[in-house]
């Protein structure tokens, strides 16, 4: 198969970034190819099929690493670590930091759009490359890549993150009588490769944003990012003593605010009463 100059350049750049030389470059080219680049062509070779395989391989590698790295954790904690690490937001951030945005082959339909679907493309290409490495060099090649690029982001604290970020955020905000709401603020990419951006609000106050392949995933990521930003109040990753201290400080702060409001209300009531008495005297 004859390759364009762009394909040749991106294949060379990809192998440099991956620190791996492919025996079969066609499998790598497929992993780098956005579906938009196959439009109107008789032979379809994009990252979609490889993404399916890579998702399973990636999950197995991460699960195996977490299992041996954290012998103190139960199934729930290990699951939370895996889910957090292989989430779309996590993969796209890692892929972006590796420079994958420069090696994806996009089609003409994406030209001039600013590559609106880049977030999901980065995630998909990471999974597809994992599969390509597995097919070309076996499990060792795929595992070496994942352990070098993704596993360093694994932390024990991930085991304490809530499995359902939306429920956890709602529970926290409702302590102050606030119910979070979600709004779809942006839709990126072509119809066959949609990426949704959602934002969570507490009343009129905008909180975190999240991105996902579905509206539900985008909302979940928005809730998760909000929880992470506010983790100092929620106590993720803290010891029992530290959590108790923060909870006590939070209660004390609420009591102080309540006392200040009560004092202000009493002052205003007294001023109104004094004004009434002054009018009667006149």
- Of residues 25, 51, 110, 127, which has the active-site annotation? 127
Number of Cβ within a 10 Å radius of residue 133: 26
107 neighbors 36 (Cβ within 8 angstroms): yes
How many angstroms separate the Cα of 117 from the Cα of each of 154, 193, 227? 26, 7, 25
- Tokens 């990252």, residue? 47
Cα–Cα distance for residue pair 207/218, rounded to 1 Å: 14
Element (H, E) at 265: helix 240-281
What tokens does 1 get?
């198969």
Cα–Cα distance for residue pair 104/117, rounded to 1 Å: 12
Q: How many helices (H) and strands (E) does the chain have?
A: 10, 3
What tokens does 162 get?
């809530």
- Tokens 């195996």, residue? 64
- Of residues 55, 110, 217, 219, which has the active-site annotation? 55
Half-sphere exposure of 226 (CA within 13 A, CB side): 31
3-state helix, strand, coil in the chain (%, to 5): 70, 10, 20
**Catalytic site includes residue 127:** yes
Report the side by side order of strands in the sheet with 180-188. Answer: 180-188, 195-202, 205-212
**What are the residue numbers of the active site?**
55, 127
């Amino acid at each position: 198969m004859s390759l364009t100059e762009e394909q040749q350049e991106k294949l060379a750049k990809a192998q440099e970034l991956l620190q791996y030389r492919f025996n079969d470059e066609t499998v790598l080219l497929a992993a780098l190819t956005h579906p938009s680049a196959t439009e109107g062509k008789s032979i379809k070779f994009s990252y979609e099929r490889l993404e399916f395989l890579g998702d399973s391989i990636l999950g197995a590698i991460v699960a195996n690493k977490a299992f041996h790295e954290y012998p103190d954790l139960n199934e729930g904690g290990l699951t939370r670590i895996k889910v957090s690490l292989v989430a779309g937001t996590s993969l796209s951030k890692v892929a972006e930091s590796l420079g994958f945005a420069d090696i994806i082959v996009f089609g003409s339909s994406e030209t001039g759009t600013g590559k609106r679907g880049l977030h999901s493309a980065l995630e998909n290409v990471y999974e597809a490359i994992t599969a390509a490495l597995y097919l070309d060099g076996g499990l060792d090649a795929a595992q070496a890549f994942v352990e070098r690029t993704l596993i360093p982001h694994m932390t024990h604290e991930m085991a304490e993150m809530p499995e359902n970020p939306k429920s956890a955020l709602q529970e926290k905000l409702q302590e102050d009588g606030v119910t979070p709401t979600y709004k779809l603020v942006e839709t990126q990419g072509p119809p066959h490769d949609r990426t949704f951006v959602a934002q969570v609000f507490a009343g009129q106050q905008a909180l975190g944003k999240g991105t996902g392949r579905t509206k539900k995933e985008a909302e979940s990521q928005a809730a998760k990012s909000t929880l992470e930003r506010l983790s100092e109040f929620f106590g993720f990753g803290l010891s029992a003593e530290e959590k108790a201290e923060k909870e006590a400080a939070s209660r004390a702060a609420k009591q102080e605010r309540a006392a200040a409001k009560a004092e202000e209300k009493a002052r205003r009531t007294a001023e109104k009463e004094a004004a009434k008495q002054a009018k009667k005297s006149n």
